[in-house]
Amino acid sequence: MLWGAWDHDMRVLHLVFFATLITVPTVGRSGGLVDSLSHPPPALGTFAYNSFVPPVTPGASYVDPVFGTTVRRVTTDHSVDDLYARNMWWSADDTRYLHRNPMGTAFADFLAVINVVTGQVTHNGIPIGTVAADDGFDPVNANALYYHTASSIHQVTLSSNGTWTDSVYFTAPGGQTLNSLGGTINWLDASGRYMVVRYGPEPSVYLYDRQNLAAGPYANPVDGKTTIDAGSYVGITPDGQFLVGYQGADGTSGLYDMGQGVSWRIDHLNRAIAATENIFWSLCGDHGSFISPSDGRDYMVVSNCHDYAELWRVDITNNTAGLDETGQKALPTNLRLISWPTWNEVGSHVSTVARGALRDWTFYATEDGTDTFNSGTVDPATGNITPWHAYRDEIVAFNVLTGASRRLAHHRSRSVDAPGNYYDMPRVSTSWGGTYVGWASNFNQSGVNQTGVIDVYAVRFSSTPSAPTGLRLAIH
């Protein structure tokens, strides 16, 4: 028997536990597991699946007992953040998170900025605006974030002493009211040059060059009625070359009436958007995210949930006209990233890295609705608190070019499909450069939305696992 101890990256929380040395698959403290085996969470001990909750203190963290990654608590107030695929929840330098304060507090329903490592609120009382789900950070300026109110986009500039300033950055022509883009994917490209906004009658989605706002929007704005108003979204690819979204996810479009992915190529030279949309995928709903990796192409990471439970990388320049599922999958440069072991893993939330050395990576949160509060049979011999299977309720990273994967953590959020439990869904989101991947979790604590016990957690990501020593410390 050995004594095991660790100190997390910034030495905020020190924990020492009694540990047993055991043999497990290859582990990286940031890289996670690289195999495809079943790895159930512990049924008993310190990290028991039905009882463990991280300390409710800013900066608290723990080492996942199965995957070996350090999981950080980002929020502590159980608020219902609109966390989703887009990178704009995170500052340009990947160090801060934009949080929605809960009702009943001093800054109820205002925005707070949280240091991801320390968990400390650095700025508070920032207005949430009228389109809360589209609030977010600038991709280049780490001290700038935006919120919409009425006809204007406001820019908030953060100071080092905890103060901030507020100024009007953009006003829609004629003072028209700004409307939501769906709160799902980025409305700024990764360079920060191009901006998507929505206002006025259809077609209502416009593209602006932020280096010349006075020139007005590009020609050929796109329709928001069949995309955003049908329950989906429109945004821009990280490389700024396409407007993208999902159309008819309310059952009005797609091969199987689950919606369809659409793209519009942007002609920056002539300041125009393609006059008609290109349909590139229609084998599942709109849970997905767009990526511009190092091969110079643009893809959507999205599910197939019709004939098989799968996650795919699909080229947004392909055209699916007249094609069934076999034909869509066979289109050039499409790639299946994984075939899930059960149907419970398919169709969950996705988030992609927008830029930098990690821009080939995407993150996926498997969300098994059959894993309910306090469920499962305790099996001390193997830790199977339920009949477990591979990838159940995990945060998983995939390289969209090589297909390599990293299994990062059990998100530990349960009963995610119960009525009223939308905010208990992990709704995975990664920072602009992929340094952190975050998700929401109730940690087996019941409640419905505003009355639930939900917080945001994050893992620092590395694409490379540690050398295969075959050993780690299992905490009990």
Which pLDDT does position 134 carry in this prediction?
97
Q: What dihedral do alpha carbons 62, 66, 68, 70 form, nearest 10°?
A: -30
Which pLDDT does position 450 carry in this prediction?
56
What secondary structure does DSSP assign to 227-260, as a single string? TTTTT--EEE-TTSSEEEEEE-TTTTSSTTSS-E
CB 188 within 8 A of CB 179: no
317 versus 26: the higher-pLDDT residue is 317
Instruction: Tell me which amino acid residue 308 is.
Output: Y
Q: Does domain 2-475 have CATH number 3.40.50.11030?
A: no
pLDDT for 164 beyond 90 = yes
The model's pLDDT over 244-303, given as tens digits with 9 standing for 90+, comes to 999 999 999 999 999 999 999 999 999 999 999 999 999 999 999 999 999 999 999 999
Structure tokens at 410: 């059990």
Which residues contact residue 369 at a Cβ distance below 8 angstroms, ignoring those fewer than 6 apart? 344, 415, 416, 417, 418
pLDDT band at 31 (very low <50, low <70, confident <90, very high): confident
Q: Quick one: what percent of the chain has pLDDT higher than 70?
A: 91
pLDDT band at 380 (very low <50, low <70, confident <90, very high): confident
Helix count and strand count (H, E) for the chain: 1, 30
pLDDT for 347 beyond 70 = yes
Structure tokens at 307: 């004939």
Give the angle subtended at the CA of 330 by the CAs of 325 and 333, to the nearest 5°: 130
Q: What's the whole-number average pLDDT of the chain?
A: 91
Structure tokens at 407: 């299994």
The model's pLDDT over 166-204, given as tens digits with 9 standing for 90+, comes to 999 999 999 999 999 999 999 999 999 999 999 999 999
What is the rounded average pLDDT of the residues 331-337? 98
The model's pLDDT over 410-423, given as tens digits with 9 standing for 90+, comes to 999 999 999 989 99
pLDDT band at 369 (very low <50, low <70, confident <90, very high): very high
Report the distance separating Cα 86 and Cα 97, nearest Å.
Answer: 12
* Cα–Cα distances in angstroms (integers) from residue 7 to residues 13, 15, 19, 70, 425, in the given order: 7, 7, 15, 10, 30
Which pLDDT does position 383 carry in this prediction?
85
pLDDT band at 17 (very low <50, low <70, confident <90, very high): very low
Report the distance separating Cα 146 and Cα 91, nearest Å.
Answer: 11
The predicted model scores a pTM of 0.91
H-run or E-run covering 326: helix 325-329
Which pLDDT does position 452 carry in this prediction?
73
What is the rounded average pLDDT of the residues 425-454? 90
Which pLDDT does position 26 carry in this prediction?
38
Report the distance separating Cα 432 and Cα 91, nearest Å.
Answer: 7
CB 412 within 8 A of CB 444: yes
* Cα–Cα distances in angstroms (integers) from residue 187 to residues 16, 138, 180, 208, 235, in the given order: 44, 10, 10, 10, 5
pLDDT band at 30 (very low <50, low <70, confident <90, very high): low
258 versus 447: the higher-pLDDT residue is 258
* Cα–Cα distances in angstroms (integers) from residue 47 to residues 54, 318, 474, in the given order: 9, 46, 10
pLDDT for 24 beyond 90 = no
Q: Quick one: what percent of the chain has pLDDT higher than 90?
A: 85
Which pLDDT does position 18 carry in this prediction?
28
pLDDT for 74 beyond 80 = yes
Number of Cβ atoms within 10 Å of the Cβ of 331? 16
Least confident of 13-22, 129-138, 365-374: 13-22
Report the distance separating Cα 58 and Cα 91, nearest Å.
Answer: 19
